[in-house]
Amino acid sequence: MLRHSVRTATLPSAATLLKWYDSHARTLPWRAPPGAIKKTDPYRVWLSEVMLQQTTVPAVIPYFHKFLTLWPKVSDLAAAPIEDVLTAWAGLGYYARARNLHKCAVAITTDHGGKFPKTLDGLSSLPGIGGYTSAAIAAIAFDVPATVVDGNVERVMARIFALEDPLPEVKPLMKQKAAALTPATRPGDYAQAVMDLGATICTPRKPKCLLCPWVKSCAAHARGIAEELPRKAAEKEKPVRQGIAFWLEAPHPDSGEPAVFLIRRPPQGLLGGMTAFPSVGWDGNENEALLSELDWDHVGQARHTFTHFHLDLSVMAIRLAKPRKRGLPEGMWWPIKNLGDSGLPTAMKKAMKLGVGWSDRE
C-alpha cells in the first residue's frame, strides 16, 4: 500500500520552472533554444532519446554527431545496412536499441513517408518506441502537452511530493504527479526543464536545493529528507557467468599482415548482430570445437557487467602459421592494427585488450 504524499504549502508552478529554464537551459546538440518558434527536428529528438536511455549525455554526444554525419535523415538511416548501424553504435551498449532504431527508421520511411507521426498513439505504434520516448518526441518536437518521465523527472517528483515508497512500485504515482504539473503552454520546454532540473540541481547526491526554483514547494526539502529520495527496493545480487573468448591469430589470407578471427553474433539475444570473438560457455552460442582442437594459452580474464549478470570472460589465445577454415564458424579475418574499426562491443573490447597484449609479447 502506497503511503500518502505530504502536502506542500504551494504546488510547484510550471511558469516558475520555465522562467528558470529560460536562463539555465543546457545547450545540447539536439535541442532548440528555450522559447524557439521552430521546434527540434523529431528525428534528432528521437535519435537522442534512444541513445540517452541508460547512457549519460557526455557519452551520447559524439555518437549523436556521428550518426547525423553518416545518416542526416531518417530515410538515410533506414537505407543503411543493419551491420553498419551496429558498428557505429558499438560502445554505447544495450544493442537492442540500435536494432530497434534501424527497424523504426525503416517503418517511418516505408509506412509514414519519412515523416514522424505527430500523435502519441501514432508514435507509440512505431517499433521500439515506448511511452517515454513517444511522449518526449510529441512534447519536444510537436509541442503536444505530453508527460515526459525519465529518471531525472522521477527524482524531482519524489522529492517535491515526498514520495517515500520505494521504486519501482511508486512509479505510477510519480507519473500521476508529473502529469498534473504538465502545462498546456510550452510543454516541450517544460519537459526539458524538468529533466534539466533533475540533471543539474535536483541531483542524486548533494542536491543544490538553495538554487532550485521549486524549493519553496518541495516537501522533502522541508522535512530534510531530499537526498534520501527516491528510495529503492533492495537489489538482488547479480549472478556471475563464466565464459571463454578465443583470440585466434594468423596472417591475413589476402595481405599477410597479423589478423584475428571475428564472427558476427546471431541477430537476436545478447550483443545481437555485433562483431565478436568466438566464445563458449556463457550465452548458448557455442564454438566448442575451437576449445578441443587447438593448444591455447590462457592470457587473462575480463569482467563485464550486463543488466542481469556479471560475465567473467577468460581469454584464450593462439597464433597459427596460416589461417584455417576447418572447425571455424562463419566469420572473417580482421587486421589486428584495425581492430578499433571492427565495431566490437565493450565486453569484447575488454577481451581485445588482453589479446593485443598477448600478441605484442609473443
| Annotated catalytic residue 257 | no
Catalytic residue among 49, 154, 164, 249: 49
Residue 326 one-letter amino acid = R
Q: In 3D, which of 311, 319, 317, 310 has the Cα closest to residue 352?
A: 317
In angstroms, the CA 209 to CA 172 distance is 25
Residue 258 one-letter amino acid = P
The answer, yes or no, to whether the previous bond of 323 is cis (omega within 30 of 0) is no
Beta-carbon count within 10 A of 75 CB: 17
Contacts of 95 (CB under 8 A, 6+ apart): 86, 89, 271, 272, 273, 274, 345
Strand 258-264 relative to strand 332-335: parallel, antiparallel, unpaired? Answer: antiparallel
Decide: 314 and 306 in contact? Cβ < 8 Å. Answer: no
Of the CA atoms within 13 Å of residue 145, those in its CB half-sphere come to 10
How many residues would you count in the chain? 362
Decide: 77 and 102 in contact? Cβ < 8 Å. Answer: yes
Q: What is the DSSP string of 243-284?
A: EEEEEEEEE-TTT-SEEEEEEE--SSSTTTT-EE--EESSSS
Decide: 209 and 220 in contact? Cβ < 8 Å. Answer: no
Residue 172, sorted as left (phi over 0), alpha (psi -120 to 50) or beta, turns out to be alpha
In angstroms, the CA 204 to CA 56 distance is 14
Please name every residue paired with 244 in a beta bridge, in sequence order, or none if there are none. Answer: 280, 314
Find where cell 502506497 sits: 2
Please name every residue paired with 276 in a beta bridge, in sequence order, or none if there are none. Answer: 263
| Residues tagged active-site | 49
